[in-house]
Structure 1
Amino acid sequence: MSPVPPDWQFGPVCLWLLPHRPGTRGEPQSREVLGAHFSMPPHDVPMTRDVRGRPWLLPPLADFGTGWSHSGEHLLLGLGQDMQLGVDLERLRPRPRMREVVERYFHPEEVRWLASLSDADCMDRFFRLWCAKEALLKAHGHGISFGLHRLRFAEDAGGALHLAWCDAALGEATRWTLHEWLAAPGYRAALAWYPAEDALPAIMPA
């Protein structure tokens, strides 16, 4: 398989958006792209999983962080050097219980913010916040079981999300980098990463 050019590059991170068959695993497809990128057979990509299922690359690729997310008919794969990263992809769709989910699981400041918005604006912010939280918590290594209320995002003057506060277990909020975008029509995506030199005990491989 020839190397596949990334669809995006945000700073040191390459990202690929791939067609994906719903209901299938993302690892085989991710191995194919990573194998082509590093000029090795997919089964030779030195990848393992920790106790929570988070993928880790082993030597000689241990300096790289990777992760993927699939939703609907797409898979999003990220790869970056000297960092822990997480990605999330969500197909935009009606969420009848959206406000109930927000009130039950989000940070109180986010709950107040979204409560002030119209249904359409709330839906837009809901998916943006969900993707951002999932991406960051995947990078951390625990996923959403860590608690969506233990980190708070806010919009800056230009309308972009930034991490305004987080639980101490997630490190310093200012050390996290977030990118969010529409990966395809009807698909919201987010990428979050934390520098490897600041790696937290909670996100080291088991």
Structure 2
Amino acid sequence: MPGPLLPVLPPGTSPVPLPGAPPGAPPGAPSGLSAGPPSSAPSGVPPGLPAGLSSGWGAGGLSGLSPGPLLHVAGPDGPWEQVHDQLAGQGHALVHTTWGQWLTAALLDPGLRSLLGRDWPRYRQTAAPAGRLRFAVSRMVLKHTAAAALQVPADALDLAYRPGGRPHLRGLAEAEVSLAHTDELIVVGISRSGPIGVDAEPVTRRPSFELLHPYVCTPDEAAELAALGEDERALRLLHLWTLKEAYTKALGHGMRRRFSAVGFRRDEQGRTVLAGEPDGTARWILATHLVHGRYLVSSARRPPREIETASRPAPYPLEETGLPPAATLGWQLPGSSGAQPT
């Protein structure tokens, strides 16, 4: 049975309401969108976090959540250096921002049509002004993130969609991307080690266990959640939802795949892994972060590919073999037999 994913909520606790979005939308912004980042989280328990989770909050974060923040980028001007460095050094990067921080750029950018590319007709056909601008901002963030990571101009990237809606960069098979947004938050994942999926939900969202558990939970997960109090059950169900949506988005299935067909557990190191996978053989890296103290952000990605190389020593020094260097290293030459380079 999967181990706990989040700390226990004491009986009788209830979520704290989300703080209001900061005022001050830029001129021309439609109603429903605001400018500026969410209110910053003070030291101690973050605002918006259910009160019962305060006992698990500390320097290491919440039990069951991944350490280290996602990279925050406040607008098209960056800073972007960390995004490129993280992709180069770790094979992936996760970026978060808010609608409000990019609104002015979306409203005033004379090159928006070129930047959106094949998404321009969809942008123009979106009837509601707020929805149209949200669509534009999310694609701007995705393209600028990919451009910074790959060191190419943002408007040179061709964003397309596979069956099921999974975004991908045409002509750049070595880079995979994923996009999630909820309330004010936008999250982009980019990976060079294979598929990646991201999902985000407010910590105060209250999914109905009774309605959703047949769709979301495996029998073991449903049994574990059914034994919990209402508040902790709702929070753990939300956590499972974000993990499973991130995973199925990485697979390219999204909401078309029944979440109850996928189970998770905690391994010996406390990491979340797919149920049924032996310890130490994880084919996916699963992580959940708490962002702004208000959102659960989960990601699923392939681990970095290891490059195997031939390690056999040459039988003699190169100058004494009379063979080309490639043959001395054990690599196959045209018309010969031997090991292929890997």
1:193 aligns with 2:301: yes
Indicate the SS of the match to 2:180: strand
**2:290 matched residue in structure 1:** 182
**2:310 matched residue in structure 1:** none
CA-CA distance at 1:159 after TM superposition: 5.1
Instruction: Find the partner of 1:154 among 265, 268, 273.
Output: 265
Unpaired stretches in structure 1, ≥5 consecutive residues? 167-172, 198-206
Match of 1:65, as an amino acid? E
What TM-score does the superposition give when structure 2 sets the normalisation length?
A: 0.50
Structure with bigger strand share is: 1
Note closer, same or farther for the CA distance 1:135–1:9 as it changes in structure 2 (3 Å cut): farther
1:95 aligns with 2:206: yes
Indicate the SS of the match to 1:149: helix
**1:81 matched residue in structure 2:** 192
* Contact 1:3/1:37 (<8 A) preserved: no
1:58 aligns with 2:170: yes
**1:131 matched residue in structure 2:** 242
Total equivalences in the alignment: 190
Note closer, same or farther for the CA distance 1:122–1:88 as it changes in structure 2 (3 Å cut): same
Note closer, same or farther for the CA distance 1:47–1:136 as it changes in structure 2 (3 Å cut): same
* Contact 2:92/2:193 (<8 A) preserved: no
What TM-score does the superposition give when structure 1 sets the normalisation length?
A: 0.79
2:205 and 2:79 map into 1 onto residues whose CA distance is 37
- Amino-acid identity (%): 26
Computing the radius of gyration from Cα coordinates, the structure with the larger value is 2
CA-CA distance at 1:82 after TM superposition: 2.7
1:10-43 CA-to-partner distances (Å, cap 9, x unmatched) read 9422111111257412223211222233333322
2:215 and 2:173 map into 1 onto residues whose CA distance is 38
1:15 aligns with 2:94: yes
* Contact 2:205/2:238 (<8 A) preserved: no
Indicate the SS of the match to 2:151: coil
2:209 and 2:86 map into 1 onto residues whose CA distance is 32
Instruction: Find the partner of 1:37 among 149, 159, 167.
Output: 149
Indicate the SS of the match to 1:134: helix
Please report the RMSD computed on the Cα atoms of aligned residues, expressed in angstroms: 2.8
Match of 1:84, as an amino acid? P
* Contact 1:151/1:165 (<8 A) preserved: no
1:94-151 CA-to-partner distances (Å, cap 9, x unmatched) read 4262332124442111111111111222122112111110000000001021111110
Unpaired stretches in structure 2, ≥5 consecutive residues? 1-76, 101-129, 306-342
